[in-house]
Structure formats: C-alpha cells, structure tokens
Amino acid sequence: MSGSKPRLEDLSIIVSGQGGDGSLTVINILADVLRSVGMRAYTERDVLSRIKGGIVAATLRACHDERLCIGSQIDLIVVFDLFAIRKQAHRLNDRSIVIYDSSGGGLPDDSGVPEGARVIGIPFSRHAVRMFRSDIYKNSISSAVVGRLIGLNDDDMRAAFEKRFGRRGAEALKYNLDALAVGHELADEVGLAADEGLYEIVSADSKPHMLITGNEAVAFGFVVAGGRFFAGYPITPSTDIMEWLQKWLPRFGGVVRQPEDELSVINMAIGAALTGTRTMVATSGPGLSLMQEGIGQLGMAEIPLVVVDSQRSGPSTGMPTKPEQSDINLLVYGGHGDFPRIVLAPGTPQECFHITVKACNLAEKYQLPVFIALDQGLSQNLATIDPIDEGQVVVERGKRLDAESLAGMAVYKRYAFSKDGVSAFAPPGTPGGMSLVTGNEHDEFGQVSTDPGNRTRMMQKRQSKLQSMQADLPRAVTHGVETADIGFVGIGMTHGVILEAMDILAARGVPTQYHQLQTLWPMLDETPDFTRGCPCVFVVEYNATGQLARLIVAHGGEEAHIESVLIYDGVPLRAEDLVQKVIERMDSRRHKAA
C-alpha cells in the first residue's frame, strides 16, 4: 500500500482557533515528530497580545530540504473555531484538506473554502468534554488525526507525547495519552486507519536534527561562550531567552536576574560586566528605548555588554506579537553622544548561536556594546537545523590583565591610549589594579577631565576601534549566481523567503544573487559595493521607511540600483509574493527604459 503513496516532500499545515485552544501545541508536537523521522520542519505563529481568546494560528512546514519560511499555499488546515476558517480560507486551494471541529455544526456557507477542497468534520470538543470533562484535550485528539492523515507512525506520535507531557506529571501524561488514543479511534471512523495516510514519510537525513528557535540558540550560544550573568525584564518576543537561561545558566555557575524594569536591567548588567563577568541582556524596542542612557554609559566607560533586540512592530506598544525590523536606526544611531558599537544580524537559528558567541568575544575584545538584531520571526519560530558543535567555540577575553601581569607594569592606566583604541583591563579587585568608572569624560586613569586635548584624544581613541575591529567582523554570505543582474539584500526572517524566491525565479530562468548581511554596523564596504556592482538590488525589510536601504545608501550604496520591498502589516512575506514584486518591478523598469 505504501508504495502507491507519494513521498512527503513539502507540506504546509495551519492549526487555528481561539487563543488558548492549543493550536501551537499541536504544531510543536507535529514538528518534533517530523524532526525525529528525519524531515525538516519550520513553524510560525500568528498570536494576539492576550492570554486567551481571539483567533490565532500556528503554521508548520515539513520538507525534505531546508526551508526557513512557510509555503505560499496551505495543504492542510485544522480549525477549532469556525471563525478561524474565514480568516485563513484565502490561503487554501482546491487541493487543500480542511479538518474542522464539528461539535457546533457544519461549516457555514460563506466559509470561503475553495470548491474541490476535501472537508472532514470531527467533533473534537464534544469528545474531549465527554471523555475528560475539558475541551482543552481537543488539541491532543486532533494531533492524532493529523498524524494519521500525513502518514506519521502511531508509535512515533506516542513517543512525542511522552516526551512533551511526561515532564508535567503522571496525571497530565495519562490524560493526553488517552486523548491521543481517542484521536486514533476518530481517525479510524473517518477512514484514516494506521498506515493509510496520504504520504509515505522517508527520512531525508540519518543524522539527528535540532528543533530550536533563534531565542533558544542565542541563549545556548551565550552559555557556551562563557556568559555567566544575564539580566532581563519580560517583553515579547525576547522573554524566551530569559526563561531558557533561568533553567540552564545556574547549572553552569551563572546568574539570571529579573529586575523591576529595563532601566534596572541595563544598570545591573553594567555592574556585572564591570566585574569582568561575561554579561548579556535581551529586550525588544520599548525596552531598548529605556536602556539608552545606560548604553551611553557603556560607550563612555568602555564596558563590554551584549544587548539582544528581538524586534517587533512599533512604535510604542505597537503590535507586540507581530514581526518588524524597525529598530535598525535605534540600534545603529541610538543614544546621545558619539561612541562605537557593533550591530550583528543573524538569519537562522544556527547563525544565532554562532553570532552570539562572536558578539561575546567582540564585546570583550573591543570593550563596547555589541547588539544582536533579531526579529519576532527569527526569535520565536522553530526550525530544524543540523546539530551545533559547541566544541568548536573559541572564547577570546581580549586584553585581560591579572595580578602577575600588573606586577610587571610600572603603572596601570585603565584607559591608556593605544594604537587599536583598546586599553588593557584589570577586573576590580585584582591586586595592583585600580578601577575608576564614571559617566564623565576622563583621562587615562579614569579621573574626570574636561581638558580639550584629552577630550579630543579620548574620542579619537574610542572611535578608532571601528577601524581596528574590521578584520574581526562577520562578513556577508553570498548566495546564488554572483554575476546575476538581480540581487537581494536582507537580514533576519527575510532570509528563508529570499532563498525560496531565488529558487522559484531560477526555475523560471531568472538567475539572482543574495547578499546576506551579518554586520549592520559598522557598515562594511562589501555591502555598498554589492549595490554598486549589481544593477537591480531588492532590499527586503520589515519596516515602513526603508531603514536598511537608507543605511546602505548613507554609506556609499548606489541608490539608483536599489528597489525597496517594505513589509509592515504584521504578516510575514511569502516567497511567491516576493517573486511577484520582483517581476512587477523589473517590468516597470523595462517599461521606463523603453
């Protein structure tokens, strides 16, 4: 029977209902099972800034190849609330399958489901209430039905349930396993017996995969890089970093603190970093705004700190659960006065790990704040990646002095002038050392000074780091055909969409190339050079004002070659939509040229 079934190659699934129905739970369970059998998985969430209620959705893409975005068309949708189908119907086609909770009746006539789509009604809530006296178990029941439909093995589903619910206690595990069994019985009733799924699932890769978010990868990278103090205040979408570290960092001798607000976060982190402890904070736009005065202190006192900004839709509270990349100006230019900083931008969870390690090293080596620019999608979406080899991590502490090296010095000057702008540092309490720290301008010893000559030299000293660090900054990654006339530039969650759009265009005979930035600041020459060398460059970014494109142009990019693709409605861009924008813009250019 299995030989007649198509192999599962690429499948996109939505689970949607009211907030609190457990849509994300279903998707995460399915993603974990698919990872365990060798498939690549990627998830996405569309949730509201509330604890319960309102239509929400979680989406899963399962592929043989790595895809870090959701497909443009949805193959299967599971809805727990009939209002949800109206919201998602535009993403369905006549080959889609709709599974809905029929406890309250059939689909309405105006549901929007395309003619030809297969519709299956199953009373999930009714069975959950009858069997367990709570409709929350409808998500576990539906997981069984979906697993059967797409061809997952019952035993693999059971193992995933044991893994997920076992840590919640014996009672929770029992009820959810019982719900799984109920789901399999319901699947039998609608003709989805074991081994009768639509697809044959064949492992694409024999090696184990990790299923991880960007936030988790950042936290993991911080621990492996020797980070031992973290301060944070809960704010979507960065909170997962703190929650992960609260569980794991103390096991490595580290400390996690949640102060009363972001002002306290940055000041507590400054104190920890001054002791020579590797320190990190994580926040989102509103929190980063509150931290600006403290970040200025980092610049003046040359204190190393890693600051993670998980960007979201703004301004003000904005749309806390929706993606945006509108903090670029704040990251690059934020704060009063002039001081050097580094802004790095990973594009995958794997890069989140490695760039966090790099950020920790750069912060201490050059004694300055290093920002990591994430966004809601990269922060919170799960992705299947190859295992991270933490054994390859190298920790660099910079010009760190101990008692022995201090004993060999005639005099220790904390802010001594140097060729590369970096002064040797002795942690406070080191015998023979001295630590004077102020937010005022100071001389080489750290004593307050307003002398014009000293001020000029100190400013030049700090700014010279921007030049001396050039060789250490992460370079852009080039994808595609380097001689192509059409190019892309993007960061964060644009990465997967751009790569898939390139594949679609290549299949249509249109070669493209992609300059994936990893260092936003200081702007490396390679990025303006790319825009000058490529006749048409699509800069794809999640904001309304083209902050990334403007930054590139301000530092030598060719404005006439740049076409901005701006997304700021809170909805992730799809590859087919990007392809359509490229075709329309190229047609418009040809028309103008004619």
Q: What is the pLDDT of residues 94-108, one digit of tens each?
A: 999 999 999 988 988
Tell me the residue type at 125. S
Tokens of 311: 């960007």
Q: Where are the domains of the chain?
A: 2-206, 211-392, 475-593
Taking alpha carbons only, the member of 368, 444, 458 closest to residue 412 is: 444
Span 125-146, average pLDDT:
95
Per CATH, 2-206 and 475-593 having the same topology is answered no
Strands of 102-252, DSSP E: 118-122, 210-212, 229-232
Cα separation, 263 vs 134, whole angstroms: 43
Tally of CB atoms within 10 A around 590:
9
What is the model's pLDDT at position 566? 98
Span 367-373, average pLDDT:
98
Alpha helices (runs of H) in 225-321, residue ranges in sequence order: 239-248, 262-274, 285-290, 292-301
Would the pLDDT of 582 be above 50? yes
**Strand 255-257 versus strand 229-232 pairing type:** parallel
Tally of CB atoms within 10 A around 280:
32
With bands split at pLDDT 50, 70 and 90, how would you rate the model's confidence at 2? very low
Helices (H) and strands (E) in the chain, counts: 21, 20
Pair 367, 423: CB distance under 8 Å:
yes
Lowest average pLDDT, out of 434-438, 463-467, 579-583, goes to 434-438
User: What CATH number labels 211-392?
Assistant: 3.40.50.970
- Kindly state which CATH superfamily the domain 2-206 is placed in: Pyruvate-ferredoxin oxidoreductase, PFOR, domain III (3.40.920.10)
With bands split at pLDDT 50, 70 and 90, how would you rate the model's confidence at 20? confident
Long-range (24+ apart) CB contacts under 8 A made by 574-579 are 574/69, 574/70, 574/71, 574/72, 574/497, 575/69, 575/71, 575/72, 575/497, 575/500, 575/501, 575/504, 576/72, 576/501, 576/504, 577/72, 578/497, 578/498, 578/501, 578/538, 578/540, 579/501, 579/504, 579/505
Is the domain covering 475-593 a CATH 3.40.50.920 domain? yes
Q: What is the pLDDT of residues 346-361, one digit of tens each?
A: 999 999 999 999 999 9
